[in-house]
Amino acid sequence: MGKKQADGRQNRWRLWFHLTHDERKLVVFILALFFVGLTARYIHLRQQQPDPVEPPPRAAERFQR
């Protein structure tokens, strides 16, 4: 890989992620908030216990036949 190819790739990445310091902090904050919410949802759903549910009367009749 030549030096020009490596420089071209670096320039593309720099252009794509050309954010100011404040914009980077905002992106990091949004991602952190997203992952905190995702973790809280996972913990909440893991601790939740399913409640037993009786089938409706017509469905119970079908299974007794």
pLDDT (tens digit per residue) in 10-62:
776 776 678 888 888 898 899 999 999 999 999 999 999 988 888 777 765 66
User: What distance in Å separates the CA atoms of residue 9 and residue 19, rounded to the nearest whole number?
Assistant: 17
CA angle 31, 35, 36 (to 5 degrees): 115
User: What distance in Å separates the CA atoms of residue 59 and residue 36, rounded to the nearest whole number?
Assistant: 42
What does pTM read for this prediction? 0.54
